[in-house]
Amino acid sequence: MFYQNLLKPILFQFDPESAHHLATSFFHISQKVPFFHQTLASIFEYQSSRLSQEVAGIHFPNPVGLAAGFDKTAELFPSFIHMGFGSVEVGTITAKEQPGNEKPRLFRYGKEKALINRMGFNNPGADQVAGILKLQTKKGVRGINAGKSKITPLEESVSDYVYSFQKLVPYADYAVVNVSSPNTPGLRSLQSKDALTELITGIKKGFDGKFPIPLFLKFAPDLSLQELNENLELCLSLKLDGVILTNTTLDKSSLGEGPHQEGGLSGNPLFEKSLSFVSTAYQILKGKIPIIGVGGIDSGAKALKMFEAGANLIQIYTGYIYEGPFLPRTINSYLDRHMAKNNIKNIAEIVGINSRVK
């Protein structure tokens, strides 16, 4: 209640990006205080053997991750990994440093518990982020999300991604190819079958044919079902290690009549679409590679639906902003109570229950 009644009203007095910087400044300062991370862990972490599992060869202490976009510089990883998350995905990182799009570029829709962003992959670039990660003591699961630099032509996308991954992979447990952000011109065209085949094949060639850590692909929710099916089949043929469903959407119809801000919509309105994509993916992939479900998850009940649809792991972002820092603990405790009540020994047993009966 502290967040909802006191902190959130203060933060929401600021524009969204300023509020984000204000909150993250606290972590930058606090990281210099001895025992800070131990204090965070004692407050926010929730531990249960029922929540622990292995996905893509990686041990996750719990299934709730922080989605890419919150920790764009990787500087906050040491703090957030102690705030109840089973994993933290940093980025999106590009090969070249870029400031992102002009401000304002992040907008709240409080009634719908949604955000629209057109950030444009603002980040320090792969070289600087690698330097940041090198100095950190790594505790917990860290994902690296990479996208194409805005100034890099589409035909040079492969070399751009390879450069980023070569710099960042040594500090990651898994990597994500982001071809689904709506805020980099032309990026989503890389989701076509031919472009995607060339991109993934090229990235693997950059590592002598074998990518050194699990490699995931993140898709947009605006694909047609046919496109989604084709891309999922392609993921199997290209021997990718998993998929993330979904990124933000360009569909603003849930917000009512416009005009609306340009950019990608995230949060509560995206949940049903992401849930349906996860369910479809589970039926196609049949457990051969894992699914990370993301989009509009802001409660334990929604998290449970995502697992029952077929997600092996979930990630949160917009829900974290609206519901506050106890959301990972709230979700984990809800899932644990559900499993205890129904005599379920592990979260993996829930995955796909609803999709399997279709």
Indicate which residues carry an active-site annotation. 181
| Residues 123/68, Cβ–Cβ less than 8 Å | no
Place of tokens 């984990």: 332
Backbone phi and psi for residue 223, each to the nearest 5 degrees, phi listed first: -65, 150
Give, to the nearest 10 degrees, the angle between helix 225-237 and helix 271-285. 40
Tokens encoding 66: 């922080």
Place of tokens 């089949």: 233
Distance CA 35, CA 259 (A): 48
How many other CB atoms are there within 10 angstroms of residue 36's CB atom? 16
How many other CB atoms are there within 10 angstroms of residue 68's CB atom? 27
Distance CA 257, CA 238 (A): 41
Q: Which residue blocks in the chain are alpha helix, DSSP H? A: 2, 8-11, 16-30, 36-44, 77-80, 126-135, 157-168, 193-205, 225-237, 271-285, 300-309, 318-323, 327-341, 353-356
Backbone phi and psi for residue 264, each to the nearest 5 degrees, phi listed first: -95, 135
